[in-house]
Amino acid sequence: MPGWVNFVVAGLLTGAVYGLMALGLSVIFGVVRVVNFAHGEMMVLAMYGVILLQHWLGLDPLVSAPVVAMALFALGYALQRGLLNRFIARPEHQQFLLMLGIAGLLTSSMLMVFGPDTASVETSYALDSYEVGPLILDKVRVFAASGAVLSMALLWAFFRMSRTGKAIRACADNPTGAAVAGLDVGRFYATAFGIGAACVGASGTFLLLLVDVQPYLGASYTLLSFIIVIIGGLGSMPGALLGGLLVGVSEGLSAYFVSPSLKSLFSYGLLILVLLVRPQGLLGRRA
Amino acid sequence: MIRKIDRRSFGIGAAATGAILAAPAIVRAQGGRLRIGSLLPKSGDEAETGQFCQGGIDLAKTMVKDMGYDFEVVDADTESKPEVARTQAEKLIHEGCHILTGAFDSGQSLAIAQVCEQNGTPFVVDIAADPAITNQGFKFVFRNFPTAIMLGNNGLALFAELFKATNTHPKTAVLMHVNDTFGQAMVRGINGYDQHVGLPFKIVEDIGYSRDTNDLSAEVAKAKAANADLLVVVHRLNDIILMIREMVKQRYQPMGIISPGSPGMQFAQFFRALGKYANYCITNQPWLDPKQPLALKVREAYGKAHPDQNMTLEIGFTFEGVLICADAAKRAGSTNPQALVEALKATHITDRVMLGGAITFDEHGQNVNLPSAATENLNGKPMVVLPASNAEAKPVFPMPGWSERG
């Protein structure tokens, strides 16, 4: 088996987690039309939440994923209801600045509380791996990817099958029409923001199995989320997954064929290519 | 009698007052008790190691005084950034520090060296390996730490000794290194050694990575794919922990993991993070001299103050940094910068902590009496395995497999 196959598989597994992370950004923009510049910082907050849950209650990160996702849902819901709703009708640059302000506030607060050093979770399976023929699959990567795919499937079912999900889609497609039909658009916007934040919370939990966390980590993941949703198509759920997988695989292959230090270069290259050839993203709808 | 103040006498008085107020540091710097400014990265990327180094400074504050020296230490944090190191050095000088010591990191130490040179303040580098620090003709900079070339040469010379002592013959190696100033300098040292002396193995893959990385899976997979006998590493603390975790997960098991001189694999945090997987890693590095009474006293005192930490070279060198400053001031009988520099040039300290001869400085301000020892992590602590004359245990090489550890 060629050596690059291991890199492709590892890239796909990591890419699934990236996909869930970017999905949160895509849901928020797709419904509320606000670009969440505090996306990565919210994820870092979730990661610290997982560490605290393990420290206080001894919870395994996979068990704390739904708890952290619910906590982030509450945070996102409150943020939208209490603050962002006032900015919905304002110029976009004011929304950007508000979100950047929230990002800075979160980073500084986490720095004060948790300090600048890296932190991680400890699990009994952290150093285990599966051997499937010539492939070696990192156990935490398999768990993280499975959790991410399951979360995305649940979210897809929620938007397709539940009344609330359908109502949120109606608000996204035509807020005026939805309001005329009697839907409380503000509440559904807050629910959508909460769902996006919950995706971030869950992806943060899964990502924490793969990387260590420190307060400054957020900005790089906000940027990565943007790259993924732009490649996949802003507002598209399958697009976020596809974008995540493509970025994960491109990172793996560039690490193998070129240099691990240059793995991000290919993500940016992919982004520029998509912007040139298909500006709405691979699965995005033309505006 | 009331004396009238005319415009001329007011002007003279104002100028005199202004001159005194404007130059407090200069006035203070000429005499009085020695003030040593200590700069370390106590927050930021290198916070963990910087805090660790502070242990050596804190010990020196009492133990060096007990040796008959009079001084005070003013601590400062470089935040792991060269630009902050520069402003903190300027601040310490402005606050009246007569001499500075620090700063663990080469980039930060170089920034401090430039400030000291501009201000005419002596600087004793306690830990930093970039040869540029003592190769630029600085007149106020002295270093009691091996250059990257010395570290590399001394450390690499021990590879052949290790293979001879264990009757092993690895033919190939992968070099994984952090891409910061220290890492780059070490790689230059390794390549230079290979060109001029020759390594006992061939480096088949050279993999660099960012200092602030949080995922080394691709790098480790690439190293594994090279299928080399040995892994040679130049690292910091966090990245070497990430690297070994990935190696265990990916079942990448070379004959050994050896560093020609890097901070991390000897730290207690490394053992706590990796448990049994921390064992059998080897670092060739300057180390404590167990035959020196001062080294034993420092190790004992450090053990009492920090029962959860291992005494390492960082403690020894930061301790010696303060000792060198205090010794120079005592011999100079003054805190005048030029007198301190002349005293530093004549340094000859035989009662020391680290392995090697007396502390002296050559014409570049570099101490060249700094050999390395091979320390291997055995039973949860670093132990000297080479040179044989200083060994506390026999080297275990090749290392046992990940799954073969109890």
Say if residues A274 and A284 touch (Cβ distance below 8 Å): no
User: How many beta carbons lie within 10 A of that of residue B27, not counting itself?
Assistant: 14
Q: Identify the architecture of domain B26-146+291-345 in CATH.
A: 3-Layer(aba) Sandwich (3.40)
CATH number at residue A65: 1.10.3470
Which residues are CB-neighbours of B181 under 8 A, at least 6 positions away? B105, B106, B107, B110, B130
- What the block records as the tokens of B387 is 């040179």
Find residue B384's DSSP bridge partners: B375
| Residue ranges in B47-174 assigned as alpha helix (H) | 47-66, 82-94, 106-119, 132-135, 148-166
Question: Nearest Cβ partner of A138 from B207, B209, B249?
Answer: B249
Comparing B218 with B398, the larger pLDDT belongs to B398
Q: What is the pLDDT of residues A122-159, one digit of tens each?
A: 888 988 888 888 888 889 999 999 999 999 999 999 99
pLDDT tens figures, B140-194:
999 999 998 888 788 888 999 999 999 999 999 999 999 887 888 889 888 988 9
In the prediction, which pLDDT does A119 show? 85
Measured CA to CA, the distance from residue B367 to residue B305 in angstroms comes to 29
Token couple for A110: 């986490």
Q: Which of B159-168, B237-246, B277-286, B307-316 has the lowest mean pLDDT?
A: B307-316
Taking CA–CA distances from A140, the nearest residue in chain B reads B249
Do the beta carbons of residue B255 and residue B398 sit within 8 Å? Answer: yes
**Residue A6's closest chain B neighbor by CA?**
B221
Q: For residues B98 and B337, is the Cβ–Cβ distance under 8 A?
A: yes
Q: Which of A14, A118, A131 sits opposite B238 (nearest CB)?
A: A118
Residue B12: the pLDDT is 53
Which range, of A1-15, B331-345, B349-363, averages the lowest pLDDT? A1-15
Complex confidence, ipTM: 0.74
Q: How many independent structural domains does chain A possess? A: 1
pLDDT score of B385: 93
> Is there a contact between B206 and B238 (Cβ–Cβ < 8 Å)?
no
Nearest to A116 among B47, B221, B245 (CB): B47
Determine the Cα–Cα distance for residues B59 and B379; give it in Å rounded to an integer: 27
Residues of chain A with C-beta less than 8 angstroms from the C-beta of B48: 117
* The predicted structure's pLDDT at residue B113: 96
What are the C-alpha distances in Å from B375 to residues B126, B176, B251, B316?
21, 19, 24, 15
Pairwise CA distance, residues A234 & A149, whole Å: 19
Is-contact B122 B93, C-beta < 8 A?
Answer: no
Helices (H) and strands (E) in chain B, counts: 14, 12
Radius of gyration over every alpha carbon of chain B, rounded to an integer in angstroms: 23
Token output for B316: 């020894």
User: Per CATH, is B149-285+373-404 categorized as 3.40.50.360?
Assistant: no
Give the torsion through C-alpha atoms of B150, B151, B153, B159, to 10 deg: 160
Domain ranges of chain B: 26-146+291-345, 149-285+373-404
User: How many pairs of residues across A and B have Cβ atoms under 8 Å apart?
Assistant: 71
Considering the domain boundaries, does residue A286 fall inside one? no
Q: Which tens digit of pLDDT belongs to each residue from B19-78?
A: 444 444 444 445 579 999 999 999 887 887 888 899 999 999 999 999 999 999 999 999
How many Cα neighbours within 13 Å face the side chain of B355?
A: 22
A199 is a domain residue: yes
From the list B149, B145, B182, B174, the residue with the least C-alpha distance to B45 is: B182
Q: Which residues pair with B377 in a beta bridge?
A: B382
B232 vs B189, higher pLDDT: B232
**Cross-strand pairs, B233:** B176
A246 token code pair:
């493509």
Decide if B26-146+291-345 and B149-285+373-404 have a common fold: yes
Q: Which of A85-99, B83-97, B285-299 has the highest mean pLDDT?
A: B83-97
* Confidence band of A172 (pLDDT split at 50, 70, 90): confident
Residues of B within 8 A of A263 (CB-CB) are 218
User: Looking at beta carbons, which residues of chain B come within 8 Å of A115?
Assistant: 43, 47
**Host H or E run for residue B205:** strand B202-209
Rounded Cα distance between B284 and B282, Å, is 7
Q: Does A284 reside within a domain?
A: no
Task: Flag whether A285 is in a domain.
Answer: no
CB contact at 8 A, B122 and B100: yes
Question: Residue A283 domain-assigned?
Answer: no
Query: Least CA distance to B49: which residue of chain A?
Result: A117
The structure tokens listed for B361 are: 């400085």
| B274, amino acid identity | L
Query: What's the distance, CA B108 to chain centroid?
Result: 12
- List the alpha helices (DSSP H) in B197-236: 217-225
Report the 10 Å Cβ neighbour count for B343.
21
For A79, the domain range is: 4-277
Interface residue of A209, A212, A247, A251 to substitute, partner B, most B CBs within 10 Å: A212
Residue of chain B nearest A208, judged by CA positions: B214
Q: How far apart are CA A209 and CA A59, in angstroms?
A: 13
For residue A63, tell me if it sits in a domain.
yes
Per-residue pLDDT tens over the stretch A222-269: 999 999 999 999 878 889 999 999 999 998 888 888 877 777 788 889
